[in-house]
Structure 1
Amino acid sequence: MSAKPSWPDPQAARGEGAVRRRVRRVRDGALREAMDEVAAEVPVALAYNGDPFAVMMATPQDIADFALGFSLSEGIVAAPDELAVEEIAESLEGISVALAVPPERASALAARRRNLQGRSGCGVCGTESIEAVLRPPPRVGAGPRIDAAALRHALVELRRSQPLNALTGATHAAAWAERDGRVQLVREDVGRHNALDKLIGAMAQAGVDPQQGFCVVTSRASYEMAMKAAQAGIAVLAAISAPTALAIALADSAGLTLIGFARDDGHAVYTHAQRLSEDAAAAPHATDPGHER
């Protein structure tokens, strides 16, 4: 994947991703009524081999990518060819996705069944046991070596390639960049976990090798984000906000390079820093404990 992507028009996000709602705005003491673009959020029900598994609140775009990415990042299947999207049915209540997996995967799934409710901001809602939440991810491969300039370039391109957020101001994004920082794939959603799942699904559909680039997300690096990235074989995850202590521990054990506070003027590397070459202009100053925030 070497072609530079074209930046989508923010208005292209209208439709499935956004709806219009009337709003009363006050600016500088003046009141006016207008139509506002609001991010859509609907229940998306996932069923495997006819058995309901989870209902996640998500933006109704890229649902096939979401179903595949969720299945991969949750360890339900190990490869895209183990999953078939049999039907995506829309109704007034939401979206139902019928998925088919091999019998042995269905049996394993039954052993770690989830309740049928999940929030857009939650990656582990409904999981029934601590063991299911804290399952050890596979160790990632050697991964790429990138430099700080590539990371900064990816951040700039990511800001330009979020049409839904430009329209509504309410969504997260996850992007896949090549080693040089050129962004190749972006997915948006009201939930940060959903955005990452959609990206993972899109990467799998496109045959992207997760060892040949890095992922940038417009959120904090929570445990679930690190888990999903490691499960998908991504070796470098950069977040524009902070990581959590559990995310750092998981990334360390999985061999994942975890970067937080990724901004134009710097970043912080929490684990496996050997994959990122620093430069003096981008490296945070250790003597400034509040630089990240």
Structure 2
Amino acid sequence: MPIGKRTTEELESGGKSYKEPPPAPAPFLNMQEFRTWDFYRAIIAEFIATLLFLYISIATVIGYKNQSKAEACTGVGFLGVAWGFGGTIFVLVYCIGGISGGHINPAVTFGLLVGRKISLPRAVLYIIAQCLGAMCGAGIVKGIMKHPYNSLGGGANSVTEGYSKGAAVGAEIMGTFVLVYTVFSATDPKLTASTPHVPPHVPPHVPALLPLPIGFAVFIAHLATIPITGTGINPARSLGAAIVYNKKAIWDEHWIFWVGPLIGALAAALYHKYVLRGKV
């Protein structure tokens, strides 16, 4: 194209190098989804992925605590635990991103519902599948590592001594905001619009790259929040561990790991929609 001239497409899009895609919010109640096998494939994928996430992440936490109990300098440390969570999410989002979107977290699902990216029926069934998968994953860890699981807290989230419940809620809000903000940014349709050779049903910038920022968001959120709450930012992860471990002290604080993540997800969804995307 000659320098100084603009194509018709650029003029229509306000002179930008991409054409703004038309708004396409998901139907709030899309009952037609129940008639498709893809809908049930996505629910099964969320169940299995959350099961695997809980198995790997909780086993990492228990293994770290068990090793450190014998000698403080052994084990993977907080850094290794954070890598375990972030790396597992990276792998699982890569595996099921094209099937279910790779939520693996009720807070992410709730945020995408607020952002009108998914329907209410899909969000409800995703959350149920995620919670059931989390219970099964934590149960497998308990079955394999029964003694250290019971003696070392079961990987359940709780408020660290020295921190208030208010501080814990704040930490969960911030950690979840980082995660859901990243999910929205990584899947922004503007990115797809800037690469027209990518089919519309494929996540932007090659499927291999999409899970990377999401996994890193989980990693850095854990680095910041492990010392405060053990890092929830995922109500299914917290619920699965709490149910299998089942101690009163854990249940007394469990509300924190729903309230904080849901508020963080809501804030991230609204921030992305009304500030970054400028929707009114």
Q: Which has the higher helix share?
A: 2
TM-score (structure 1 length as normaliser): 0.29
TM-score (structure 2 length as normaliser): 0.30
Structure with larger Rg? 2
